[in-house]
Structure 1
Amino acid sequence: MRALIILGLVGFAAQLVDGSLGMAYGVTSTTLLLAVGTNPAAASATVHLAEIGTTLASGISHWRFDNIDWKVVAKIGIPGAVGAFAGATFLSSLSTEVAAPIMSIILLALGIYVLVRFTAFGLPRGNLGKPLRKRFLGPLGLVAGFVDATGGGGWGPVGTPAILASGRLAPRKVIGSIDASEFLVAIAASIGFLVGIGSQNIDFAWVAVLLLGGVIAAPIAAWLVRHIPPRILGSAVGGVIILTNVRTLLRSDLIGASGGVQTAAYITIVVIWVAAIAYSLREYRRDRDNESVEAIEAPENGQVAEGVAGTPR
């Protein structure tokens, strides 16, 4: 019973982060399942089965808060489902030990870009509103879906930073669209796992409690993402991406850093991350105050100008 309660809390926390930042449900939940000895295919299958419910709840919640661009969902979700099914089907015969560090380097670069861009400059507005092309979203969805199924998580960490970096969609729309499209990915991956390994290695009680925790958190997360300022949200997402992928790289055979080096790196990243969020918060408040002053002064200036124009010389 204690283990089920802990799993439920993990599902709640994971969905709260995933629904507000567009990533981390699969990574968080799968990490816990692997830590207690679940084999990789069964762990990923368990998480994806739970995600069918959590992503549906999350998608509905984001829809109610107008956080979704349905064109983006269609363009990235269908290729993502294809990639997820392929990844799930071949997981048992596929080694991701070589691919993981390479993917982490790419994601780390995107994370640094997102963190610096949003912290230093705020929401990119030069491309905001421009359409996201199918030739960009299609391959992105295919890769993200494949990584998600084979790694037990990755749809958000691959898709969210790539779309955020384009600057063509507001952060809350990026997160809502990624979460909604993940429903298709979760279904496809689950079918692939059921075909590949069957259901005998899946603990459906674990699926249920992960699902319950995620469903409870979904509407809270959708509300949070609508009310967190984009600049601050971008800095927060960038930090998550950097921390997650530095951790993967330091633990990989490519680097194999010692425990002390890992701890020092994590502390340094967290300090920089917290400072970036604090800076973004300060700049957001300053911009908001400036806009308020301009809004107040604009009518007053108009009245003065009108009075001067109407005054006889």
Structure 2
Amino acid sequence: MRTLILLALAGLGAQLVDGSLGMAYGVTSTTLLLAVGTNPAAASATVHLAEIGTTLASGAAHWRFGNVDWRVVLKIGIPGAVGAFAGATFLSALSTEVAEPVMALVLLGLGLYVLTRFTLSGLPTGNLDKPLRKRFLSPLGLVAGFLDATGGGGWGPVGTPAILASGRLEPRKVIGSIDTSEFLVAVAASVGFFVGLGSEGVNWLWAVALLAGGLIAAPIAAWLVRHVPPRILGSAVGGIIVLTNIRTLLRSDWLAAGDAVQWTVYGLIYALWAAAVGYSFKEHRRTASTAPRPAADVADAAEAAEAADVRPAEAGTTGR
């Protein structure tokens, strides 16, 4: 029961991050399942089964808040489903001894990408409203879907920054469209795992626990996407993913590092992670303070100032 409660809380937290950042539900949840000793293919299968429900709820919430571009959903989601099915059948064929460090490497790479991307870079908006072409979205979806199934996550970490970097779609619609299209990826990956593993490859109770937490968080995250600073959140989540998967690699047969080496590496990662989050917070505050104020806010401030100037004069006139 304790494990199920922890998984539900993890699903809630992961969906809050995913729904407001456009990534990290799969990577975070799969990393957690690997940390408690789950077979890599079974971990990814369990997470993708839970994601069928969470992505459906998240997509509906994002659609309700106007965060979805349906043209992008179709152009990237269908190739993503093809890549996810291929990745699921590929991972199912690997032995556990090979799959665990391979998955840890994929997750580590994705974690480093998330950490560096959101720590060092802002969100470009110079090409807003220019169309996103199918020749860009289709290969992106194919690669992201394959990585998502083999790494237990990767749809958001690959798709969201790539589309954000184009600057052609505002951030909230990038996040909403990626979350919505992930439903197609989750369904295709789940079918692939059922083909490769059968139903015994999935821990159904764990999938339900992850789903329950994600369903609670989905509508909250769709609302928070307008308010949570993605730069800080990206740095924080990226650090968690990097730390957990470094731990898996150091303890694997590939490296078999001693305790002294492990703790030295952990200390360095903690220090770099803290520095990254601190830098992201500093840069977020700097850019927020120098960003031009919206015209509506400026107009409201001007009206308030004018009203403040008029009231004393009116008061003086009344007193005469």
**When the two structures are superposed, what TM-score results if normalisation uses the length of structure 1?**
0.81
Q: Partners of 1:247 and 1:59 in 2: how far apart?
A: 29
Paired residue secondary structure (2:196): helix
2:217 corresponding residue in structure 1? 217
Question: CA offset at residue 77 of structure 1?
Answer: 0.5
Partner Cα distance (2:263, 2:160) in 1: 30
For residue 276 of structure 1, give the secondary structure of its aligned residue in structure 2. Answer: helix
User: 1:237 maps to what in 2?
Assistant: 234
Alignment partner of 2:199: what SS? coil
For 1:90, what is the secondary structure of its paired residue?
helix
Change (3 A) 1:166 1:241: farther
1:227 match: secondary structure = coil
Does the CA contact (< 8 Å) of 1:236 and 1:277 recur in 2? no
Deviation at 1:202, TM superposition (A): 1.9
Offset, 1:115: 3.4
Contact between 2:113 and 2:157, CA under 8 Å: does it hold in 1?
no
- Partner in structure 2 of residue 53 of structure 1: 53
Q: Distance in 2 between matches of 1:40 and 1:247?
A: 14
- Deviation digits for residues 59-104 of structure 1 (CA, Å, limit 9, x no counterpart): 0011111111111111111011000001111213345656875885
Does 2:272 match 1:272?
no
Q: CA deviation at 1:251?
A: 6.1
Equivalent residue number for residue 206 of structure 2: 206
Give the superposition deviation at 1:111: 5.1
Q: Which residue of 2 aligns with 1:65?
A: 65
**What's the secondary structure of 1:226's corresponding residue?**
coil
Please name the residue that 1:91 is paired with.
Answer: 91
Letter in 2 for 1:276: S
Does the C-alpha gap of structure 1 residues 251 and 199 become closer, same or farther in structure 2, counting only changes over 3 Å?
A: closer
Identity %: 60
Structure 2 residue matching 1:193: 3-state secondary structure: helix
> Which residue number corresponds to residue 310 of structure 1?
none
> Is 2:43 the counterpart of 1:43?
yes
**Deviation, structure 1 residue 293:** 4.6
On the 8 A contact 1:84/1:147 being kept in 2, the answer is: yes
| Alpha-carbon distance in 2 for matches of 1:14, 1:285 | 29
Partner of 1:200, secondary structure, is helix
**Cα 1:112–1:85 shift into 2, 3 Å:** same
1:258 aligns to what SS in structure 2?
helix
Q: Which runs of 5+ in 1 are unaligned?
A: 301-313
Alpha carbons 2:107, 2:245 under 8 Å: kept: no
Q: What is residue 74 of structure 2 aligned with on the other side? A: 74
Which residue number in structure 2 is paired with residue 263 of structure 1? 267
Aligned-partner Cα distance in 2 for 1:124–1:148: 25
Distance 1:11 1:113 in 2: 24
Q: 2:159 is aligned with what amino acid?
A: G
Distance 1:79 1:242, change over 3 A: farther
3-state secondary structure, aligned to 2:206: helix
CA distance in 2, matches of 1:135, 1:211: 34
Q: What SS class does the counterpart of residue 130 from structure 1 fall into?
A: coil
Query: Partner amino acid for 1:51?
Result: E
Alpha-carbon contact 2:104-2:248 (below 8 Å) kept: no
Compute the displacement of 1:22 (Å): 1.2
> Does the residue aligned with 1:263 lie in a helix, a strand or coil?
helix
Q: 1:167 to 1:270 in 2, by over 3 A?
A: farther
Do residues 140 (structure 1) and 140 (structure 2) align?
Answer: yes
TM-score using structure 2 length? 0.80
